């Protein structure tokens, strides 16, 4: 059955909490875009926070919401990173955060999930679809309960007002329009309050 894997996951001894928090130290959005028509430039955005909500009785009621700190953009080139933070691109002074909130999460075969939600960057909101994998829960060496969420998507940067470009001598463009995005997120189960 389509939901069998997920229902089995929920009966694990670890999965009784409804909320899973994003571990910012182990979460990032990696991106890749065509550069000068000859190669790709890649980078990473960190500073991620948010939560995954699980409904033990109905997997269709899962939800994910999170934010990215756009000031953390890193392409291993300081001048390029500063340009990306400027008004030509993400204008981080006006729009320091990007956010994502699901409209639906649909379990698929094995551990696969399809996340459909609204991505907001530069004050513009568009629907995007993320194809992902939600791993089973486990206890780490320090006693914390964890699970992982990975996913990929493609977005058109122009949809979010990121339109800067230059025409090359050969007629091509300095930057492509489509951006490949890969998410790697570790989630932790919130600690229960201790009484007494």
CATH number at residue 166: 2.40.128.110
* Cα angle, residue 118 at apex, residues 152 and 50 outer, rounded to 5°: 75
pLDDT of residue 17: 42
User: In the 8-state DSSP scheme, what is residue 178?
Assistant: E
Any domain includes 122: yes
Any domain includes 193: no
Any domain includes 194: no
pLDDT (tens digit, 9 = 90+) per residue, 30-86?
A: 999 886 566 788 999 999 999 998 775 676 778 999 999 999 999 999 999 999 999
How many structural domains is the chain composed of? Answer: 1
Q: Tell me the H-state helices in 69-167.
A: 78-85
pLDDT of residue 56: 59
pLDDT of residue 1: 45
Q: Which residues of the chain have pLDDT under 50?
A: 1-17, 194-196
Any domain includes 155: yes
Residue 129: domain span: 4-188
Any domain includes 195: no
Any domain includes 150: yes
Q: Is 143 exposed, middle or buried (0-12, 13-18, 19+ CB in 10 A)?
A: exposed
pLDDT of residue 65: 95
pLDDT of residue 121: 96
């Amino acid at each position: 059955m389509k939901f069998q894997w997920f229902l089995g996951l929920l009966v694990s001894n670890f999965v009784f909490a409804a909320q899973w928090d994003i571990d910012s130290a182990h979460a990032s959005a990696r991106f890749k875009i065509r550069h000068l028509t000859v190669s790709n430039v890649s980078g990473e955005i960190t500073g991620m926070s948010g939560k995954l909500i699980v409904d033990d009785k109905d997997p269709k009621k899962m939800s994910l919401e999170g934010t990215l700190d756009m000031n953390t953009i890193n392409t291993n080139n300081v001048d390029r990173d500063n340009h990306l933070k400027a008004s030509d691109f993400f204008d981080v002074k006006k729009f320091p955060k990007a956010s994502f909130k699901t409209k639906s999460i649909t379990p698929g075969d094995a551990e696969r999930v399809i996340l459909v939600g609204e991505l907001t960057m530069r004050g513009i909101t568009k629907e995007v679809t993320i194809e992902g994998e939600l791993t089973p829960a486990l206890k780490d060496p320090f006693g914390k309960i964890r699970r992982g969420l990975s996913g990929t998507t493609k977005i058109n940067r122009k949809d979010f007002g990121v339109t800067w470009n230059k025409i090359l001598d050969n007629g091509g463009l300095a930057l492509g329009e489509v951006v490949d995005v890969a998410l790697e997120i570790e989630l932790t189960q919130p600690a229960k309050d201790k009484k007494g």
